């Protein structure tokens, strides 16, 4: 499938809006067919997607399976198994003042939703929200990122073969296509990406009072206490940081480690990188590439501050702009004011800062914008409770990184500048659903207590009735 002509976008949207008006996506059978179609699409074309992901981001087949295809299959199967239960009306207690009667909450689809995907996990972050959208009974427009063109083209070619064309459409293109789509009224917009574009999306949505879900990012801190198994902590930090060449919104963005374990942690992380990717990560099939030259140059600029190196390079090496190879890089002695500590790194550069204790680490985290994720490595239950109670973040991983995103029952989303709204599992179903409040009463025995005129006797009874929960 080629890029969608601009002139065709109004036609596509008109067709999908007719489907919404006709209730095409409401039956549970339609929703299940779309979930089945997504599963078949991913299973039957997993090799095609792997090739596209390798072309866009240098991902290995194993990484493509673990973080994109397999991740989505788990989500689809989890949602499909529970969908009928989620659609069951939810009874709520009816207060005395409205008896006889019954009350319940009923989920209904929002209508036509726009999903703007991201380039770093282009398949997962485009089709993942779609799983939730169709499960909730919505029609959807997908706009994958143009920065991962091979993956976008693969999805464009396949989506129409496996999903209902009158319920789901994929529109390729760049900023111009996204701009035209954002000018249209939708019933919800779901965006994954950076904060700057997130603001643009929110401004566009405000013109139509369209609800938005923003999955953004931020600088995810990783706190390492002195009371911890350092080799395990180092392996998990290194894995989460250098997965997808660091281009992961929940990757540890910097490490705050107790000064007494600082050097030991650095040595353990260097050892872990060698074990994972060898002495020359460039030759490793498991280490990816930067998405494009612009982002490559942005990462290079982060390694200098006022013309001087940002910090002491503990691990790094030669880079190659032509192949977009940027090696795993670990920095020490980094100033908190350096550029690498001011913006989200989103690449394979990991600053490590020593702190006197975890009190200082907590203060440091709280002095900065709320992150998408926070990680703590510690065996101290009291410290764990303090971090959970005294800091704010979209999610938390204790003694691990990034893995909380793989738990379907946990909501995934940010807080404050790291995003708003959440999805995965039931949380995605709820994000794309309207919870309709319903009270049903009979017409026999219509007491006049609530009707004027309000005599003193009526008011005494009303106060009694309305005061009871």
Could you give the residue numbers annotated as active site?
215, 249
Sign of the Cα torsion 243, 295, 1, 132 reads positive
Q: Residue 213: exposed, middle, or buried by beta-carbon count in 10 A (0-12, 13-18, 19+)?
A: buried
B/e letters for 349-382, b = 16+ CB within 10 Å, e = fewer, are bbbbbbbeebeebbebbeeeebbbbbbbbbeeee
Q: Where are the beta strands (DSSP E) in 110-147?
A: 112-116, 139-143
Helix (H) or strand (E) holding 23: none
d(CA 454, CA 468): 20
CB atoms within 10 A of CB 14: 9
Return the closest-CA partner of residue 254 out of 159, 341, 170, 321: 341
Asked whether the beta carbons of 329 and 315 are under 8 A apart, the reply is yes
Looking at the DSSP bridge assignments, the partners of residue 90 are 105
B/e letters for 383-397, b = 16+ CB within 10 Å, e = fewer, are bbebbeeebbbbbeb
Residues 6+ apart with CB under 8 A from 37: 162, 163, 164
Residues 6+ apart with CB under 8 A from 444: none
Angle between helix 175-182 and helix 9-22 axes, rounded to 10 deg: 40
Evaluate the omega torsion of the peptide bond into residue 100 and state whether it is cis, within 30 degrees of 0: yes
Residue carrying the six token digits 């072309």: 55
Mapped onto helix, strand or coil, the DSSP state of residue 46 is helix
d(CA 313, CA 291): 23
Mapped onto helix, strand or coil, the DSSP state of residue 77 is helix
Mapped onto helix, strand or coil, the DSSP state of residue 102 is strand
Return the closest-CA partner of residue 98 out of 437, 454, 453, 457: 437
């Amino acid at each position: 499938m080629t890029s969608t002509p601009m002139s065709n976008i109004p036609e596509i949207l008109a067709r999908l809006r007719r489907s919404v008006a006709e209730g095409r996506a409401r039956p549970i059978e339609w929703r299940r067919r779309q979930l089945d179609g997504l599963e078949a699409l991913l299973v039957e074309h997993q090799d095609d997607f792997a090739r596209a992901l390798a072309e866009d981001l240098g991902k290995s087949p194993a990484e493509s399976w673990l973080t994109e295809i397999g991740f989505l299959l788990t989500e689809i199967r989890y949602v499909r198994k529970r969908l009928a239960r989620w659609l069951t009306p939810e009874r709520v207690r009816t207060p005395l003042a409205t008896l006889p009667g019954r009350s319940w909450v009923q989920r209904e689809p929002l209508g036509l939703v726009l999903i703007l995907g991201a380039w770093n996990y282009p398949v997962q972050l485009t089709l993942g929200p779609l799983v939730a959208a169709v499960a909730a009974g919505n029609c959807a427009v997908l706009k994958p990122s143009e920065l991962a063109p091979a993956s976008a083209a693969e999805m464009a070619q396949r989506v129409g073969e496996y999903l209902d064309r009158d319920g789901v459409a994929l529109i390729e293109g760049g900023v111009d296509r996204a701009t035209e789509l954002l000018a249209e009224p939708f019933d919800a917009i779901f965006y994954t990406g950076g904060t700057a574009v997130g603001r643009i999306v929110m401004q566009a949505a405000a013109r139509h009072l369209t609800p938005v879900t923003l999955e953004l990012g931020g600088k995810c801190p990783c706190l390492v206490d002195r009371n911890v198994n350092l080799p395990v902590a180092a392996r998990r930090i290194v894995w989460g940081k250098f997965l997808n060449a660091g281009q992961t919104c929940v990757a540890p963005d910097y490490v705050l480690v107790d000064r007494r374990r600082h050097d030991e942690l650095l040595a353990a992380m260097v050892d872990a990188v060698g074990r994972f990717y060898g002495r020359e990560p460039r030759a490793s099939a498991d280490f990816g590439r930067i998405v494009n030259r612009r982002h490559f140059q942005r990462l290079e600029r982060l390694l200098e501050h006022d013309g001087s190196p940002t910090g002491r390079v503990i691990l790094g090496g030669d880079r190659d702009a032509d192949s977009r190879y940027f090696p795993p890089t670990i920095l020490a002695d980094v100033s908190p004011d350096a550029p690498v500590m001011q913006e989200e790194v989103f690449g394979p550069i990991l600053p490590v800062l020593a702190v006197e204790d975890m009190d200082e680490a907590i203060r440091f985290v709280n002095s900065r914008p709320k992150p998408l994720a926070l990680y703590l490595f510690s065996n101290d239950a009291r410290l764990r409770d303090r971090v959970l109670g005294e800091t704010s973040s979209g999610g938390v991983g204790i003694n691990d990184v990034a893995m909380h995103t793989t738990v379907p029952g946990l909501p995934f989303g940010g807080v404050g500048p790291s995003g708003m709204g959440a999805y995965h599992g039931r949380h995605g179903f709820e994000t794309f659903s309207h919870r309709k409040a319903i009270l049903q009463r009979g017409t026999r025995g219509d007491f006049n207590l609530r009707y004027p005129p309000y005599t003193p006797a009526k008011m005494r009874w009303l106060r009694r009735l309305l005061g009871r929960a």
